[in-house]
Amino acid sequence: MGQGLWRVARNQHLQQEAYSEPGYLSREHSRRVTSNNITHSGHRKQAQGGIDLYHLLKARKSKEQEGFINLEMLPPELSFTILSYLNATDLCLASCVWQDLANDELLWQGLCKSTWGHCSIYNKNPPLGFSFRKLYMQLDEGSLTFNANPEEGVSYFMSKGILDDSPKEIAKFIFCTRTLNWKKLRIYLDERRDVLDDLVTLHNFRNQFLPNALREFFRHIHAPEERGEYLETLITKFSHRFCACNPDLMRELGLSPDAVYVLCYSLILLSIDLTSPHVKNKMSKREFIRNTRRAAQNISEDFVGHLYDNIYLIGHVAA
């Protein structure tokens, strides 16, 4: 027992002497320096050619380089990737610091096409002095004008050569743009039925369940707040387009455009019934099936039941 305690005490004493010796400290310091040098050289090897990214990142810690990295010192591909995440306002501010980078045409072209997916001018040879930054400003100005007065907005786009005077081109512009006020757009489409026709044909409802297709349709072409002639026109055009996109399904279910029209109206009424807080006695699934099959007798009970389940679980088709 005494010998065991003596060995433990002797080992502890030797360990303390070993760690306190200058030779141990110098060896440990040398090992750490060697390890750091290897790590740093590995970082420098990763930045092949051009700027030494390791020294650039280390420079941030110095007092002279505090704050954001100077993008002009980075590889151009990396700088453009960083700037591509900015919106138009932030990109204009960035151009005050990095003028050559932030005014690059590819960045402004991406902003234009991500906001306004289709313009006639995209498919033309650009005129002399054309720039996508200037085009962005014109598109933004035209959208604001459209949201105040749709006719003046469309006239503005045509006067600047952004849109051709064609119902199909206007329909494509509306279909690919999300900055237009939906209330003003509804008024414009009610007056321009030729544009509405081309806008409906841009939708592809192939292999979509009827309520989901109706939701997508009303997401692009907002339904009026009250029933009337315009709503009937929208449902009629949707019914014909849905049947044209799903001919095999229509033959299998024995549905016609008139039958789809009846189903769409039934879905809208069911949506109001199930989602409105003013309706206390909600329509049951059995009542919906009975009422719908009374209007369209060739429709199977299972199919109508699936329609009810979709509205009950997902919600309004025209919200």
- Kindly report, residue by residue over 68-91, the tens digit of the pLDDT: 666 666 676 676 676 666 666 776
pLDDT at 188: 95
Taking residue 264's Cβ as centre, other Cβ atoms within 10 Å add up to: 23
Domain boundary among 144, 163, 192: 192
Residue 36 lies in a domain: no
Q: What is the CATH number of the domain that holds 267?
A: 1.10.1000.11
138 band by pLDDT with thresholds 50, 70 and 90: very high
pLDDT at 318: 83
Residues 207, 307, single domain; the answer is yes
96 band by pLDDT with thresholds 50, 70 and 90: low
CA-based nearest residue to 239, from 213, 219, 221? 213
Residue 40 lies in a domain: no
Residue with the bigger pLDDT between 107 and 317: it is 317
Residue 23: alpha-carbon gap to chain centroid:
63
Residue 298 lies in a domain: yes
- Kindly report, residue by residue over 16-41, the tens digit of the pLDDT: 444 444 444 444 445 544 444 444 44
Q: Give the span between the Cα atoms of 46 and 99, in whole angstroms.
A: 29
Range of the domain at 123: 75-192
In this model, does residue 292 exceed pLDDT 70? yes
- Kindly report, residue by residue over 164-197, the tens digit of the pLDDT: 999 999 999 999 998 899 999 999 999 999 999 9
Residues 165, 251, single domain; the answer is no
Q: What would the mean pLDDT of 258-278 be, rounded to a whole number?
A: 92
Residue 248 lies in a domain: yes
Residue with the bigger pLDDT between 21 and 158: it is 158
Residues 187, 104, single domain; the answer is yes
Residues 236, 284, single domain; the answer is yes
pLDDT at 21: 46
Residues 96, 158, single domain; the answer is yes
Residues 268, 184, single domain; the answer is no
Enumerate the β-bridge partners of residue 177. Answer: 116
pTM, to two decimals: 0.70
Q: What would the mean pLDDT of 220-235 be, rounded to a whole number?
A: 88
Whether 162 and 176 have beta carbons less than 8 Å apart is answered as no
Residue 40 DSSP label: H
Residue 29 lies in a domain: no
In this model, does residue 94 exceed pLDDT 60? yes
pLDDT at 293: 86
Residue with the bigger pLDDT between 301 and 97: it is 301
45 band by pLDDT with thresholds 50, 70 and 90: very low
Residues 127, 88, single domain; the answer is yes
Q: Give the span between the Cα atoms of 175 and 169, in whole angstroms.
A: 10
Q: What would the mean pLDDT of 57-72 be, rounded to a whole number?
A: 56
Q: What would the mean pLDDT of 51-62 be, rounded to a whole number?
A: 54
295 band by pLDDT with thresholds 50, 70 and 90: confident
Into how many domains does the chain fold?
2
Q: Give the span between the Cα atoms of 245 and 254, in whole angstroms.
A: 15
Per this entry, what is the length of the chain? 319
Residues 258, 229, single domain; the answer is yes
Residues 87, 128, single domain; the answer is yes
